[in-house]
Amino acid sequence: MACCATEALWQKRLHEAGVSALYLHIPFCVRKCAYCDFSSWATSPHDPLMARYVNALERLLTEVEGVGLLNGCQTAYIGGGTPTFVGASLAQLVRDVRAAAPQVRELSCEANPDSLGDELLERLKDAGCTRLSVGVQSLSDSELAELGRIHSASQAQTRLSAAVAAGFDVSADLMCAIPLQTDGSWMASLAGILACGVGHVSVYPLQIEDETPLGERYGTSEPAFNDPEVQARRMELARERLVQAGFERYEVASYAQAGKDCKHNQAYWTARPYLGLGTGASSMLTREGYVALQSICPQFPELSDGVSRVRLTCIDGRHELPVARSMADLHFDLEFLSEVQAAAEDLMLGMRLVRGPEPGLVDHARKVIGGSAVDGTLVWCKDQGLIRKSGLRWTPTDKGWLLGNVLYGKMWDLAS
Ligand code: SF4
């Protein structure tokens, strides 16, 4: 009986027409960082394209609100790029999100220290932004220079402290296994951001991507500073330091004080549908959500019977988006997932969380994929030390995260 009730709840989630989370992408930056392969372009602060781009996002927002997609939306995140680079337009965009999705309880903006002045802090607060996620990466000036960041360590600390004092929930991003970094400088960066009073920290190992200045400099040379053992040690040092400071790890790269976890990012890892607007932005919609969006996107094909979930990525660039009069003018990459693929994807994403995938999801996956396949995979991962059973839940181990490609790959293999 309990199992049927859980499956009914899971089915309800998988068929919600509205989205839980909204993402808006601002693809502009002052300068391109040396490691960055995100959808972002360097431009002048006076580039009129930025205001036209934001206006286009506002039009699209009004349009998707009109078909009810945002009715149950709980969180919004304006990311980039550097959203704070567009200045007062960002505060107006926050207001527009508030108007389009009034029940949003967490509204985050990504920020860089060099464009997060006192005046903008005040405007964002007034507009209804609740959370700032600040790209710091390091508190060593020489490491920041190697990364091509344009802010200094002291500027980062000053702006973090100002954001905390202004009453925002503040998160800082830090990067490990970067050029010039030592264990000591990594610990100093962690201590420095903690001293600013942030309630959330995200830590990532540097990924050296092709077609970036760092990729060109280091190619396939596997530099010692980025060695997998260095990455693992620095991530472990971060865990020890942040836990000691009263933070709880809730995702492989995310730590928070009580109640300060990022609700928006958790939507991505718990099978909640989300809508992304802007160049390069992705959405994940249920069948029902896709049909709702199709009513304003006649360019979308009809769904075939076996489709349970649709992933969409807007492929229009920063110049095309401002001239789009409506969603109907945009272009998307579309990916259609079956019920089996959706369940495997949800298991894979759930393994990023400390608490692992929800038991209801595991039961649902057994039902649609097959009990022996799912159980066989879980037991194999347990035997390899990648996951463990904690009460009713399967949770990832430290080894599972260190060998994330293996763990996530095994879950995704269930799709086939
Ligand atoms: S600020 Fe962020 S998005 Fe912009 S170039 Fe640097 S890493 Fe990329």
As a whole number of angstroms, the distance between CA 33 and CA 84 comes to: 16
C-alpha to C-alpha distance for 48 and 187, rounded to whole angstroms: 41
What was the pLDDT predicted at 118?
Answer: 98
Rounded to the nearest integer, the mean pLDDT of the chain is: 96
Q: Is the pLDDT reported for residue 65 higher than 80?
A: yes
Domain extents in the chain: 16-266, 343-413
Using an 8 Å Cβ cutoff, are 269 and 349 in contact?
yes
CA of 214 to the centre of ligand 1 (A): 13
What confidence tier does 5 reach under pLDDT thresholds 50, 70, 90?
A: confident
- Regarding the beta carbon of 37 and ligand 1, being less than 6 Å apart is answered no
Distance (Å, rounded) from C-alpha 202 to C-alpha 210?
23
CA of 347 to the centre of ligand 1 (A): 30
Annotate 214-255 with DSSP letters as a single string. Answer: HHHHHTTS--GGG-HHHHHHHHHHHHHHHHHTT-EEEETTEE
pLDDT score for 240: 97
Lowest mean pLDDT among 7-21, 295-309, 384-398: 7-21
Residues 346-379: tens digit of each pLDDT: 999 999 999 999 999 999 999 999 999 999 999 9
Q: Which residues pair with 388 in a beta bridge?
A: 395
What's residue 10's pLDDT?
Answer: 83
Ligand 1 pocket test, pick from 26, 35, 36, 43 with the greatest ligand atom count within 8 Å of Cβ, gives 36
CA of 45 from ligand 1 middle (Å) equals 15
Which residue reads 């489709």 in tokens?
Answer: 307
Q: Is the CB of 135 under 6 A from ligand 1?
A: yes
> Contact, 404 vs 349, CB < 8 A?
no
Nearest residue to 347 (alpha-carbon basis) of 374, 318, 319:
374
Give the helix/strand (H/E) hosting 309.
Answer: strand 307-314
Residue 190 and residue 196: Cα distance in Å, rounded?
10
| pLDDT in the model for residue 157 | 98
Identify whether the C-beta of residue 134 lies closer than 8 Å to the C-beta of residue 111. yes
Cβ atoms of 57 and 50 closer than 8 Å = no
> Cα separation of 276 and 165, whole Å?
30
Q: Which residues contact 16 (CB under 8 A, 6 or more apart)?
A: 72, 273, 286, 288, 289
Exposure string over 82-107, b if 16+ CB within 10 A, otherwise e: bbbbbbebbbbbbbbbbebbeebebb
Q: Is 305 a residue whose pLDDT tops 60?
A: yes
Residue tagged 């036209």 (tokens): 52
pLDDT interval class at 9 (50, 70, 90): confident
At 403, list the tokens.
């060998």
What's the pLDDT at 13? 81
Positive or negative: CA dihedral 406, 407, 409, 410: positive
The pick from 30, 33, 50, 109 for probing ligand 1's pocket by mutation, whose C-beta has the most ligand atoms within 8 angstroms, reads 33
Percent of the chain with pLDDT over 90: 92
Q: What is the DSSP letter of 136?
A: E
Region 92-115 average pLDDT: 98
Helix-strand-coil percent breakdown of the chain, rounded to 5? 45, 20, 35
Q: For the segment 220-240, what is each residue's pLDDT rounded down to a tens digit? A: 899 999 999 999 999 999 999
Residue 361 host element (H or E): helix 359-369
3-state secondary structure of 337: strand
Query: 140-198: per-residue pLDDT in tens?
Result: 999 999 999 999 999 999 999 999 999 999 999 999 999 999 999 999 999 999 999 99
Asked if 353 contacts 344 with a C-beta cutoff of 8 angstroms, the reply is no
Out of 6-15, 46-55, 180-189, 329-338, pick the least confident: 6-15
Distance 137 CA to ligand 1 centre (A): 11
**What pLDDT was estimated at residue 273?**
96
Which tens digit of pLDDT belongs to each residue from 27-36?
A: 999 999 999 9
Instruction: Tell me which residue has tokens 């200094």.
Output: 152
CA 323, CA 129: separation in Å to the nearest integer?
A: 27
Helix (H, G, I), strand (E, B) or coil at 168: coil
Among residues 247, 111, 207, which one has the least CA distance to residue 166? 111
Q: Is 16-266 a domain of CATH 2.120.10.30?
A: no
